[in-house]
Structure 1
């Protein structure tokens, strides 16, 4: 009997991107229901080398195709099923021993995925553990409560006489750490001073954790300002003769507005009714600021002996509260001075996403806010730009506003021309970074592929029906980047991958300093946990900010 000839077939993607096939199907490019597997499992084929030869790595059983159809992304190759099986047997025998140790090592580092799936909200509220954000929140509360307690027992007389000033000081701090202009300067200084090869990785990751979590200071100071104002009102009511009824009424109104604003920001309400939170937070804050000015002038002009008001400016300007309130006002007004109504071009490659184009180039890593009506709601998106003539935003259809962009594309939108810095901007702190994105989350990273960056970035993008849902333009932007630094995984063709395992493998292979992920709460959590177990610094969205 003649010896069977083993045909070694090499597959090359038409677009040079990563893809999966299952050898146990009659058509290796069809994604269908899993068939009976006896000798060979499911494998992932990736273009590890520039020559587009492929290495075979085992994939966990968690990968499952999302639907059954023939791929339209690859060249047509006629191959018999028996030939594919013979090839896999030969190749597995060659690489199995070499890859065994690596597979065991990676699997040990990954968290066990044996817990039941939880809702998005439960992951946001309950499944993040004690984050750096919460740590900053606790520190702010603790410091203020210690000072308040010392004041109450008489060991801090300065605070007892100026309890209202401490409340205003906390309002200034919470405003400062939510000011997009102030944070833009802080992020820029951090990148300029710490984004050098000589600075240790530990300092860079600590800086990233802090800057990403400054919202904890905002929340902690907000609660503390309420505590100090209550304390001030209690002291005032004990000495009614030293103040007037008007001042007490204004102070109680400010307290009520701060309480309403804080309750609206409670995580459960904020995530379930975001528009209610945004409008309540904004308008209650504005009303409180107006009344704060009234309170400043009334309290600093009141004469207890004559029960009259002396509105002499020379007297008022000497008070610290006036200047703190002025600083708060400037910080709140500054972003609104950059609001403009601009012409936009909106296209919808599918009913899943819209592409919004604006004039003017934008630096990589910055984010922008847009609104159909500036006093109602604002939406933040990552900015895609080559830094030259134009920039654009990719808006996934997940809410009423983003869906309206697809159904009734607007000709004009309100924008804040002052773009703000977020986690993507801190890519510039590092020398080598792995960016992991799912779905429309790719928009915050694409600028790093289109314009020069201090960091050497690599990319993993996992999405469904990429060209169909996000358009050929998005695919072409990714294809401009060196293909040895990009893995694009289309789940409609390749099935749903274990993104956490894929990220750890890529981080080790590319020898990156840090992983930055943008995904849904569950996806981000899984990648962060996997990287933590592998001792790889990783950062993702702060859902409780």
Structure 2
């Protein structure tokens, strides 16, 4: 047994955990052993179907190697973040590497190199470790759709603000507070799961036809995946408009109540605090602080906004007092209706919160399977919580859309580890599930779905129930039955090999996932590739596919 060593890992808001240092390339292909038989072109996976074994052909890009510890365990679970996708959270774990051949017991006939004689690989040059901020801000490029939406939204608001300040936009100058509230409404709308569920459904219903141009479908997918850019842009814009409004109010103090000024100043402080907590570096290093600050500062700002709007409507600058009979003015106030809409959007998810019984099993110490009653459509995700006021966790849903659905949770955080060590009998859920990138699979005709580790959970429903898209699933994972259970293994094994490609790293070693995805897309004649992996793996697959002329999408840190 090898000696224990510390491995630095990251986890995304979707629960993706991966190593930073052990390998310069997370998808590095091991060097072919000198004594490997060159004639064989088939590899055996270590699961049985009756008395037979499932066999997958492989090319030179997928070479056999000795078993080794998995470098990542990709989960669609949010052990740290309940609202935003793919936000990295730094965690450090001590992993004791063991001789995997003793646990997996693959057939030695097909693995010529034993576990006691590992391949001697040449030392790889170490790459300089990028800063965490550069990973978040620059790793996916300077001109992503997310950043372009952010810039466009911010530019439009700054332009309107400049026109108002120069007296070229008198309405905006009179209604600066309204523009700030309207931006808050827009950013809330971009994060409303109920609203986005309707938008995603409409996108699939309207664009999910063969005659719709592929370019329009991919553009829509990019926009919906990166709508968080509008959320961020409107957040900063609301602060800018409120500062401008407060400046105008202070110039005209004699016609304004000091209570209104105090409320506006407090709301501004809360918005600034919420935005600072959402700054990528803060979210990355102190995600729990961001989560709680964003939630409670937002709720506090909403309560104060109601007080601000009602006081502003009822205040009479002539008598310098508040009018108790201001009902007619309330109905005509645009600020009132925007504030009411914001409140409805924020309260709506909480109306659907329920405490439900669950059945939890743990095939291994690496993952747990959580079962719920009721079927769910393919491509849908859900949120669960042990304590609804403090944390929520997002998972992909596995279901045949009949009697039950389940979530596969990789044990990479405190909450997900507790599901394995001390499974609860009940969990809090949001009864209305939400749609994400996987739901848009239904917009296309032929799709390749690429997953690593427990990222497979959100794609399994496309195999278990009929869907609009014809899919091919590529799954790269370690120890299929040992880590993910017999049930999931049987689901994956019950399909023809051209539709389901499984690469068990415990037997075959690490593949070149990018090349594997490209080959599968070409063979399947896919219109698009959708990948769920760790952030670096998703980026590599997406970039490689785009370089090969294939449209590809993967989760981003704030999708």
Deviation at 1:58, TM superposition (A): 1.5
Q: Deviation string for 1:449-494 (max 9, x for gaps)?
A: 1000000000110111121111111111212333321111111111
Matches for 1:177-256 after TM superposition, within 5 Å: 177-256=190-269
Partner of 2:127: 116
Deviation at 1:71, TM superposition (A): 9.2
- SS of match in other structure, 2:59: strand
CA distance in structure 2 between the partners assigned to 1:469 and 1:120 by the alignment? 33
Q: Deviation string for 1:226-281 (max 9, x for gaps)?
A: 00000000111111111011000000110111111111111111122222211111
Deviation at 1:69, TM superposition (A): 2.3
Partner of 2:299: 286
Report which stretch shifted further, 218-227 or 267-276. 267-276
Partner of 1:415: 429
Shift in CA distance, 464/542, structure 1 to aligned 2, threshold 3 Å: same
Q: Does 1:317 align with 2:331?
A: yes
CA distance in structure 1 between the partners assigned to 2:554 and 2:102 by the alignment? 34
Q: Does 1:155 align with 2:184?
A: no
Matches for 1:17-416 after TM superposition, within 5 Å: 35-36=33-34, 40=38, 45=43, 57-59=59-61, 65-66=67-68, 69=101, 116=127, 118=129, 121=132, 122-129=134-141, 130-312=143-325, 313-416=327-430
Report which stretch shifted further, 164-173 or 267-276. 267-276
CA contact (8 A) 1:381 1:393 kept: yes
- SS of match in other structure, 1:497: coil
CA distance in structure 2 between the partners assigned to 1:335 and 1:305 by the alignment? 42
CA contact (8 A) 2:190 2:228 kept: yes
Q: Deviation string for 1:110-154 (max 9, x for gaps)?
A: xxx999375694533331102111111111000000000000011
Shift in CA distance, 469/128, structure 1 to aligned 2, threshold 3 Å: same
Shift in CA distance, 116/425, structure 1 to aligned 2, threshold 3 Å: same
Partner of 1:536: 550
CA distance in structure 1 between the partners assigned to 2:527 and 2:439 by the alignment? 16
Partner of 2:50: none
Higher relative contact order structure (alpha carbons within 8 Å, sequence separation ≥ 6): 2
Report which stretch shifted further, 534-543 or 308-317. 308-317
Deviation at 1:59, TM superposition (A): 2.4
Structure having the higher Rg: 1
CA contact (8 A) 2:271 2:301 kept: yes
- Gaps (5+ residues) in structure 1? 1-31, 82-112
Report which stretch shifted further, 465-474 or 431-440. 465-474
Q: Deviation string for 1:14-36 (max 9, x for gaps)?
A: xxxxxxxxxxxxxxxxxx99643
Partner of 1:87: none
| Structure (1 or 2) with the greater helix fraction | 1
CA contact (8 A) 2:542 2:552 kept: yes
- Gaps (5+ residues) in structure 2? 1-29, 46-52, 69-98, 114-123
Shift in CA distance, 301/188, structure 1 to aligned 2, threshold 3 Å: same
- SS of match in other structure, 1:58: coil
CA distance in structure 2 between the partners assigned to 1:164 and 1:485 by the alignment? 55
CA contact (8 A) 1:168 1:225 kept: yes
CA contact (8 A) 1:43 1:59 kept: no
Partner of 1:522: 536
Shift in CA distance, 68/172, structure 1 to aligned 2, threshold 3 Å: closer
CA contact (8 A) 1:431 1:513 kept: yes
CA distance in structure 2 between the partners assigned to 1:205 and 1:432 by the alignment? 13
CA distance in structure 2 between the partners assigned to 1:203 and 1:449 by the alignment? 26
- SS of match in other structure, 1:414: strand
Report which stretch shifted further, 447-456 or 346-355. 346-355
Deviation at 1:544, TM superposition (A): 3.3
Q: Deviation string for 1:34-76 (max 9, x for gaps)?
A: 64369959977599xxx98875622278977526627958678
CA distance in structure 1 between the partners assigned to 2:353 and 2:103 by the alignment? 45
- SS of match in other structure, 1:199: coil
Q: Deviation string for 1:300-357 (max 9, x for gaps)?
A: 1111111101132112221110001001111111111100000001111111111100
Matches for 1:466-485 after TM superposition, within 5 Å: 466-485=480-499
Could you say what the CA RMSD is over the residues aligned between the two structures, in angstroms? 2.8
TM (normalized to structure 1)? 0.83
CA distance in structure 2 between the partners assigned to 1:336 and 1:78 by the alignment? 54
Shift in CA distance, 41/224, structure 1 to aligned 2, threshold 3 Å: farther
Shift in CA distance, 120/485, structure 1 to aligned 2, threshold 3 Å: farther
CA distance in structure 1 between the partners assigned to 2:111 and 2:400 by the alignment? 42
